[in-house]
């Protein structure tokens, strides 16, 4: 692929490198650090998830509006993948949440700013600086990337649905989700989203796309760790079925017919 100018290319590459660095900082802060004054404030789960997704739209839609006629279908596929994912997050997932813990304000602000920055980075790069060959969509890496994105989104949407139905049926206490990929891995909703954005990075084949995949993994990995600890600590079923030394995103469970399926 070519770029409009070496200077612009270098600037966007530098932004992508900073984005990857920020994900490392995010991981450390989420797991170990920010627990101070801002924790006194929080945002409802519905509003938080709605705004997380909406944060991506302004820059993405502006990039679409200003798109040059020189762009081919690959550029539009990339922006469509981004909009489809965040439309689901804002307009479907946000309203399907049953109750849900309020989101500490510092985590809400961090997520909103990250999504806004990633929306700007992805849309600006892929509509101002990334030029793809006409046959890009037909290349093997592109096909694999699209398949991974579609598979990952299916996994995480279906897993989200299982979790929401479980919460609607059981208002109190903790229930171990069963069925689908919950029989194989600890957090298929997080796993699916990671697969989704790895596929996006494969299709786009740019440093900004890779930085977004790193962003998602850095954000979801600590959540998967926390979810695993909750499963083991609060559910007797989890103690019986979860392995002693799991890899958190790929924690294979033993089948146990004595466990009641909810």
Q: Which helix (H) or strand (E) holds 104?
A: strand 103-104
> Residue 218's pLDDT is what?
84
Q: Which two tokens stand for residue 207?
A: 């440093």
Q: Is the pTM of this model over 0.85?
A: no
Q: Which residue has the tokens 């006409």?
A: 134
Mean pLDDT by 10 residues, the chain (262 residues): 57 69 62 56 85 87 69 86 93 81 81 85 86 91 97 95 80 70 85 95 94 86 77 56 48 39 37
Q: Which residue has the tokens 């770029």?
A: 3
Rounded Cα–Cα distance for residues 186 and 136 (Å): 36
Contact present, 142 and 74 (Cβ < 8 Å): yes
> Residue 226's pLDDT is what?
78
Rounded Cα–Cα distance for residues 248 and 122 (Å): 29
> Residue 165's pLDDT is what?
84
> Residue 29's pLDDT is what?
59
Rounded Cα–Cα distance for residues 95 and 227 (Å): 22
> Residue 225's pLDDT is what?
80
> Residue 257's pLDDT is what?
36
CB atoms within 10 A of CB 119: 25
Q: Name 217's Cβ contacts closer than 8 Å, sequence gap at least 6.
A: 23, 194, 197
> Residue 159's pLDDT is what?
92
Give, in degrees to the nearest 5, the angle at Cα 53 between 51 and 59: 100
Contact present, 180 and 220 (Cβ < 8 Å): no
> Residue 181's pLDDT is what?
85
């Amino acid at each position: 692929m070519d770029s409009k100018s070496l200077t612009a290319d270098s600037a966007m590459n530098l932004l992508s490198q900073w984005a990857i660095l920020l994900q490392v900082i995010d991981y450390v802060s989420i797991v170990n650090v920010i627990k101070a004054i801002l924790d006194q404030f929080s945002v409802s789960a519905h509003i938080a998830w709605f705004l997380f997704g909406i944060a991506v739209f302004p820059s993405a839609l502006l990039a679409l509006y200003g798109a040059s006629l020189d762009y081919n279908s690959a550029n539009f596929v990339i922006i469509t993948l981004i909009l489809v994912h965040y439309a689901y997050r804002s307009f479907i997932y946000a309203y399907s949440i049953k109750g849900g813990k309020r989101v500490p304000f510092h985590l809400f602000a961090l997520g909103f700013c990250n999504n806004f920055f990633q929306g700007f980075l992805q849309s600006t790069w892929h509509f101002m600086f990334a030029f793809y060959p006409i046959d890009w969509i037909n290349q093997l890496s592109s096909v694999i990337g699209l398949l991974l994105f579609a598979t990952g989104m299916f996994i995480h949407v279906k897993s989200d649905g299982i979790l929401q139905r479980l919460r609607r049926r059981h208002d109190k206490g903790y229930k171990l989700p069963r069925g689908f990929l919950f029989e194989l891995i600890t957090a298929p909703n997080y796993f699916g989203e990671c697969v989704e954005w790895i596929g996006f990075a494969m299709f786009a084949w740019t440093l900004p796309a890779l930085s977004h995949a790193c962003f998602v993994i850095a954000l979801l990995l600590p959540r998967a760790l926390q979810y695993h600890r909750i499963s083991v600590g609060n559910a007797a079923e989890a103690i019986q079925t979860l392995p002693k030394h799991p890899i958190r995103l790929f924690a294979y469970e033993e089948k146990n017919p004595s466990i009641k399926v909810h």
